[in-house]
Amino acid sequence: MAYKLDKIDTAIINSLMEDGRKSFRQISREINVSTPTVKTRFQKLLNMGLVKSVVPILDTSKLKRSHGIKLESNKKIKNGMSVKINCDYCDGPINDKPKILRFANIERFLCCNGCKTHYKEKYQGRIDSITEQYKNSKK
Ligand SMILES: [Zn+2]
């Protein structure tokens, strides 16, 4: 599956690449979208593995060469670039729509329902404790 970066995603990434210490609020003012939107999108980019850290270090090998869009020397991300996603269970490429497993504020991308089931079985303990911690942190 290829998730197409839209202009909000690219604006967030490029803004953070200038200064990775910016707050979500600063970014939201800079690019004119709401702070919750910036948070949600940023979380999604983390979950997809494109953004590996809060100071964004991009794995450019995740960017597919598509539509003739290339990463230029300034490393700015552009609209329409696609992010390759691998299955979080079998690490195989996800070519179709991913099966998404959501818990706490985390999304896991799986290639098929089989992998989703296996993932849940394998990590049930960890999923439960993360979910529990997340609930407690919201209290
Ligand atoms: Zn899989």
pLDDT at residue 70 greater than cutoff 70: no
pTM recorded for the entire structure? 0.54
Fold of 1-85: Arc Repressor Mutant, subunit A (1.10.10)
CA of 1 from ligand 1 middle (Å) equals 12
Nearest to 90 by CA among 76, 109, 103, 77: 109
Q: What is the pLDDT of residue 100?
A: 92
Q: Where in the chain is the domain with CATH 1.10.10.10?
A: 1-85
Q: Helix/strand/coil (H, E, C) string of the chain?
A: CEEECCHHHHHHHHHHHHCCCCCHHHHHHHHCCCHHHHHHHHHHHHHHCCECCCCCCECHHHEECECCECCCCCCCCCCCCEEECECCCCCCECCCCCEEEEECCEEEEECCHHHHHHHHHHHHHHHHHHHHHHHHHHC
pLDDT digits (tens, 9 = 90+) for 11-55: 998 888 887 778 888 899 999 999 999 999 988 888 888 877 665
CA of 4 from ligand 1 middle (Å) equals 21
CA of 129 from ligand 1 middle (Å) equals 23
CA of 44 from ligand 1 middle (Å) equals 19
The chain-wide mean pLDDT, for the chain, equals 83
Sequence-distant (6+) residues with CB within 8 A of 40 are none
Give the mean model confidence (pLDDT) for residues 70-94: 77
CA of 51 from ligand 1 middle (Å) equals 21
Torsion-angle region of 44 (φ positive above 0: left; ψ -120 to 50: alpha; else: beta): alpha
Q: What is the pLDDT of residue 80?
A: 76
Q: What is the pLDDT of residue 24?
A: 86
CA of 95 from ligand 1 middle (Å) equals 11
Measured at the alpha carbon of residue 26, what is the angle toward residues 22 and 27, in degrees to the nearest 5?
A: 80
